[in-house]
């Protein structure tokens, strides 16, 4: 009888969790670049590109293409969310205020930028632990190779693809994914 009770309890708990919320980034709340909470649940129904950024990297000019991509597709349920990180050769040394000023002055960024985080290592942010570990995202293991690595997330908050840092934001693979 006790085993039957445990099986029933486990079955009820499993049923109580909505399938759409399993393995979804929509369960995360992060801090935006202004220090305010930003619920990723607010992005339900949108395709999302999550990208770790840096201001002093050879790939920093990708900001220009990221902003152009965002402007072109933001009204078509697409959003880019930037996460500044100082994990690669100290290429993002500034404060959130410094990063925000740099991005506005040099690239006119209007897509959501979050507070600086760690995207790998012992201090890895929980969102990036989700993005890089199959046991959390349900799709694949990956490692963040460098600044400007892109994670493509579907409308339900599920990981669909990991795009190399060197792949430009307007690459046909990315554009086809946005349009599909």
Contact 40, 46 (CB under 8 A): no
C-alpha separations of 100 from 47, 70, 143, 148 in Å: 24, 17, 26, 16
Length of the chain, in residues: 180
Element (H, E) at 159: strand 159-163
What are the residues whose beta carbons fall under 8 Å from the beta carbon of 136, sequence distance 6 or more? Answer: 23, 129, 130
Question: Is 103 annotated in the active site?
Answer: no
Identified catalytic residue from 57, 59, 161, 175: 57
How far apart are the C-alpha atoms of 113 and 146, rounded to whole Å?
Answer: 18
Contact 114, 85 (CB under 8 A): no
Contact 71, 85 (CB under 8 A): no
Give me the active site residues, please. Answer: 57
């Amino acid at each position: 009888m006790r085993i039957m009770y445990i099986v029933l309890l486990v079955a009820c708990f499993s049923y109580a969790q909505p399938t759409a919320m399993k393995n979804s980034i929509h369960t995360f709340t992060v801090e935006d670049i202004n220090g305010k909470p930003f619920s990723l649940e607010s992005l339900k129904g949108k395709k999302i590109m999550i990208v770790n950024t840096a201001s002093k990297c050879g790939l920093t000019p990708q900001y220009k293409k990221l902003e152009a991509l965002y402007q072109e597709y933001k009204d078509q349920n697409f959003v880019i969310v930037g996460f500044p990180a100082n994990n690669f050769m100290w290429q993002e040394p500034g404060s959130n205020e410094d990063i925000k000023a740099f991005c506005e002055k040099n690239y006119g960024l209007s897509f959501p930028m979050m507070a600086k985080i760690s995207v790998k290592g012992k201090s890895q942010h929980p969102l990036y632990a989700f993005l890089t570990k199959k046991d959390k995202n349900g799709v694949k293991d990956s490692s963040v190779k460098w600044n400007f690595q892109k994670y493509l997330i579907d409308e339900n908050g599920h990981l669909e693809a990991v795009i190399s840092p060197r792949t430009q934001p307007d690459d046909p693979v990315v554009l086809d994914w946005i349009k599909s």
